[in-house]
Structure 1
Amino acid sequence: MAYTAGRTAPAGKGRLSALADLGARPGGRRHPLVAAAMVLPLALLLGLVSGWGRMVLTQASSVAGMLGS
């Protein structure tokens, strides 16, 4: 029989796996800023697609009109 007790997992990780581990703490949790940096681009894209930009501009112009600007 072959001796297999000394084998370990491969030392090299793939690029995606290494990217997913970016900012991970030893306990397996990410730093909050890293998590925010991962989520915000998608949130902005979804907001633009759903039309929140026009809504924000409408509200800002209404507030400016009330303030007399």
Structure 2
Amino acid sequence: MAHTAGRTAPAGKGKPTALAGPGTRPGGRRHPLVAAAMVLPLALLLGLVSGWGRTVLEQASSVAGMLGS
């Protein structure tokens, strides 16, 4: 397989730095905290809609019961 991780976009291709978006580094990568701030709200919403919140609460209460709390 070809190694492609080190390649950069040719000059004149892609977005200008001013239009790349907040938190974007010069290489075109976002800071990890910016990426997390973008993803977490949607992940929490999807989790709550799918019943994730209830499952977490049930497991937490089960663990608390086993610990005798």
Please confirm whether the aligned pair reaches a TM-score higher than 0.5, indicating the same fold: yes
2:15 matched residue in structure 1: none
How much is the aligned-residue C-alpha RMSD, in angstroms? Answer: 1.6
The percent identity for this pair of structures is: 87
TM-score by length of 2: 0.69
Residue deviations 1:4-53 (CA, integer Å, cap 9, x gap)? xxxxxxxxxxxxx95x6100011111001000000000000000000011
TM-score by length of 1: 0.69
2:59 matched residue in structure 1: 59
Give me the whole-angstrom Cα distance separating, in 2, the residues matched to 1:49 and 1:55: 12
Structure showing the higher helix proportion among its residues: 1
Q: Could you list the runs of 4 or more consecutive aligned residues of structure 1 that deviate by over 3 angstroms after TM superposition?
A: none
Long gaps (5+) in structure 2? 1-17
1:6 matched residue in structure 2: none
Q: How many residues are treated as equivalent by the alignment?
A: 52
Give me the whole-angstrom Cα distance separating, in 2, the residues matched to 1:53 and 1:63: 16
Long gaps (5+) in structure 1? 1-16
Equivalent residue runs for 1:1-69 within 5 Å: 18=19, 21-69=21-69
Letter in 2 for 1:51: G
